Structure 1
Amino acid sequence: MNLQRNFENAKYVTKFLSELSDEKIASILVQLADELLKEQSYIIEENQKDLLLMDPEDPKFDRLKLTENRIAAISKDLVNVAKLKSPLRKVLMEKTLLNGLNLKKVSVPLGVVGVIYEARPNVTIDVFSLCIKTGNVAILKGGSDAYFTNQALISMVHYILELNYVSKFIVRLLPPERSSTEALLNAVGLVDVIIPRGSNSLIKYVREHSKVPVIETGAGIVHTFVDETADIKKSQAIIFNAKTRRVSVCNSLDCLIVHEQKLNDLPFLTEPLSSANVIIYADEQSFEALKDHYPTHLLFPAKEEHFGIEFLDYKLSIKTVTDLESALDHIAKYSSKHSEAILSENEENINRFLSRVDAAAVYANASTGFTDGAQFGLGAEIGISTQKLHARGPMGLEELTSYKWIIVGTGQIRN
């Protein structure tokens, strides 16, 4: 594949995307949703080829795996995106100056969006749907771990585009080799923005080596604080869900922070975790509270290395604190600014936590598992940004747009 030519073609076709009507785009997405369901056996067959090459114990295995239910969810997200209103051509602001100049601030596409991701085949479809809906061209660089799955999915995308007489260059899948990544990171003037989705090491590499602007979708080092007033039944269910619903996703719980007045309740709070074989790394106080109640083969003393880590596995650290301020300090030190939660019945504590915690998503009495574009009603997401420039949190349609100023005059000149 001639990568330079692909980037040039991608830049060229951006002008044709603006000519697609909202109705046409919606129709393409619905047709693709139907095609995925129709060909799910083939998708699973190709996905199995990738899975056979990966260790089932690898945390990426769960992300890579596609099932009928997961394909159905991807299909449903496509339909949801199709139904959403286009964020393009919106007048964000309009005013007329004293000199008579009329100013409008209007939403426009970003242009060519490059996405680098690992063993996450759902990203292939999510990015396509969000980019075509927002008038952006997508260049995808998937990992070699998902080679067969990504090839199957992109072939279906291209098939539907051809049926609708739309250029396949509006979405391209680059070869999985590292050289493709290097070429994409250096495509200055042809690619407008790069979004990495994956491990800390991938995101760091892209940030440090890209000559193209980068929007980081950071790793999730997620905390949940159980304060002294927390309802223990409610908290037990939330903790179990946040940790075990899907351990390989970035919104899963990594560190449970417990007020010392709740240590007697800790065996109850963690009881369901043992049924899922969750390994706990407990600090000294929480270890003492659990040692006669939690399975010994799953309970270990915590070390410094067990805090500030994204486990992506059936593992959890526990930190004991004396008050809310100590919990806030711990989060500030170790958080990746992704998703953080407080479990409390004290309104003052809740408000202080929501106000003080610096993260893309901050929760009170709910599972962090909800940090997700589809769950937020965005249809799907291109990633969850943990930075503060341009976009933060789940990036849906609105976050894939920029704006331009349109100025209309009647002959004005500046003095």
Structure 2
Amino acid sequence: MTTSSRRSALRLFGAVGAVAMATTSTSPAFGGETARQVPEDLRPGGALDRLAAELAAKDQFSGSMAVIRRGWTVLRRSYGMANRQTGVRNGPRTSFGLASVTKLFTAVAIHHLAQRGRLRYGDRIGAHLDGFPAPITEMVTIHHLLTHTSGLGDFRLLPGFREASRHWSSHAEVLDGTVGFIRRSELAFAPGTGNLYSNSGYCLLGAIVAAASGRSYYDYVAESVFDAAGMRDSGFFTKPRWRSDSRIARPYARLPGVSERTDNLDEHLYVGLPAGDAFATCADLERFVHALMSGKLLTPPYAALMLGAKVPLSGAAFVGYGAVSALEGGQWVHGHGGGSTLGASTSLEVFPDGGWTVVVLCNYEPPGAEPVARLARQIIVAQ
């Protein structure tokens, strides 16, 4: 079972054995004015490249990373093992568990339905879902769910969830069973009066996607996000596929009381949820960003609505309608991070003013991706 943290969300979109492999790809057409605008520290051999290699050598990073500017690949690296037992290395086509970066896909599906007139941001839960106690049905809105201001918390902490979820073996059982547990929740505060990072809220958004579209949440996201963006190596992969597909990185982490990292695949649900645990490659997340920012996934007004600051967190960081945004160095940074104590640390950051996208995906527990993503951000905002 994945454990995502509020800390990783506050750090925006945020990625370890001895180095088994390092790969680099830079566009042969990269040059001219674009090249002159790239800091040396982001190029091959620069400070970011050296940091990732050092962390991998210390068994603190295993995964893939990519730095892109206006469509040109500046730096692309892969380190470590996707599967230690079979000797498969991480590479550019390796898909990683995304943890809470998945919430971006759920948010796009909600905005896509809003764009189609199938729901409104002020809709109460009761307009789309039934069986919830009156305070939730009558007070919690889609706006609250998107902004983590609903008062709902984390379904994984509810009594009995862990035991029951071990027996679910279909997409419907996983989502419907999770929503069933959330129906037993109590609000931590009146909706709109506080902020509590809510995996439960994003699972309910997934259920609303299904109710408003008349289709499975998983089918709707596959069509309106993955297929629409050309994300050919991404999806909500089931546990059986995860076991058998060599292109999907296994999750490795040091569990309490264990000195060595172990493969924790068996501790995961049969399939991920709207709050976390879809899979993607770095290249596919680049495609996702391009499709979102170019109007392919959402019309520009709805994309701007998704990314725009809504609720203050700390400093100059804000919750948006799916993304977390921050003002750093006089420019906006949008995206999300994710983390699992079972073996995932992920970061997706977009810098629209400078045309930068930074993706860091790791199949080790946090802080894996965070030091790499943090240094990339510092270099970009300082230029």
Q: TM-score scaled by structure 1?
A: 0.25
Higher gyration radius (CA): 1
TM-score calculated relative to the size of structure 2: 0.26
Higher relative contact order (CA 8 A, sep 6+): 2
